[in-house]
């Protein structure tokens, strides 16, 4: 399991500073969040990559159309990963995944907003296999629907058991949710954390605490 830090910020200077700080603390995967990219464009991805060259950088572009083109642009601006919406049409997902693969870009299907993420992931896999499925409980949904992290984790783990494909979980994750994962014995590949780290008074310290929880259960093959 790896900890991915989502920089869902609207201040590029702060995002770069935070990336450098977390890089010194052992950052492995960092995400240029959707708000950051919408405000500053894909050059924000390049800036974050330059701030921590050894970390993998995710461009959270949540592509909904012109899949191959958006995968190409993400790669050209230094992204190692990019995201496409699981709720969009299958043709776009296919073009995004296949195009990304041809360019050396790893692709993640974000299942945010999908009523049955497990079934949608199975449906997508009948056409194309991305590198990762993200089971994502969005901020608005968390506030209004009462959906629980445990349900999200169960769905992600089941897909991984059925198919062997990599899965991630995202959405309001704190130490509590990471501890739920480690205690449950369920396997996910990526845990995506945003505000619990970026909004903390000491982001690097909070990152280290969360990362250490994960390291306790990492196997040599993780």
Name the helix (H) or strand (E) containing 58. strand 56-63
- Dist CA 171 CA 195 (whole Å): 9
Model confidence pLDDT, tens digit, residues 73-122 = 999 999 999 999 999 999 999 999 999 999 999 999 999 989 899 999 99
Regions of the chain where pLDDT drops below 50: 145, 219-222
pTM passes above 0.75: yes
For residue 193, list its beta bridge partners: 5
Would you say domain 2-215 falls under CATH 3.30.470.30? Answer: no
Residue spans per domain, the chain: 2-215
Q: How far is CA 190 from each of CA 4, 12, 14, 33, 57, rounded to the nearest angstrom?
A: 7, 24, 24, 16, 13
């Amino acid at each position: 399991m790896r900890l991915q830090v989502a920089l869902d910020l609207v201040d590029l200077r702060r995002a770069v500073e935070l990336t450098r700080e977390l890089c010194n603390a052992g950052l492995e995967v960092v995400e240029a969040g959707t708000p950051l990219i919408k405000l500053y464009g894909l050059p924000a991805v390049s800036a974050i990559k330059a701030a921590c060259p050894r970390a993998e950088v995710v461009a959270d572009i949540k592509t909904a159309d012109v899949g191959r083109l958006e995968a190409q642009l993400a790669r050209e601006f230094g992204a190692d990963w990019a995201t496409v919406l699981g709720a969009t049409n299958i043709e776009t997902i296919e073009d995004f995944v296949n195009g990304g693969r041809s360019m050396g870009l790893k692709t993640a299907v974000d299942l945010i907003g999908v009523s049955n993420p497990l079934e949608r992931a199975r449906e997508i896999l009948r056409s194309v296999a991305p590198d990762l499925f993200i089971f994502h409980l969005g901020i608005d949904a968390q506030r209004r629907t009462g959906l629980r992290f445990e349900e999200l984790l169960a769905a992600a783990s089941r897909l991984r058991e059925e198919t062997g494909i990599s899965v991630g979980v995202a959405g309001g994750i704190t130490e509590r949710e990471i501890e739920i994962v480690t205690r449950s014995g369920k396997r996910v590949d990526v845990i995506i954390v945003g505000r619990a780290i970026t909004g903390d008074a000491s982001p690097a310290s909070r990152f280290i605490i969360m990362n250490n929880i994960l390291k306790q259960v990492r196997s040599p093959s993780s």
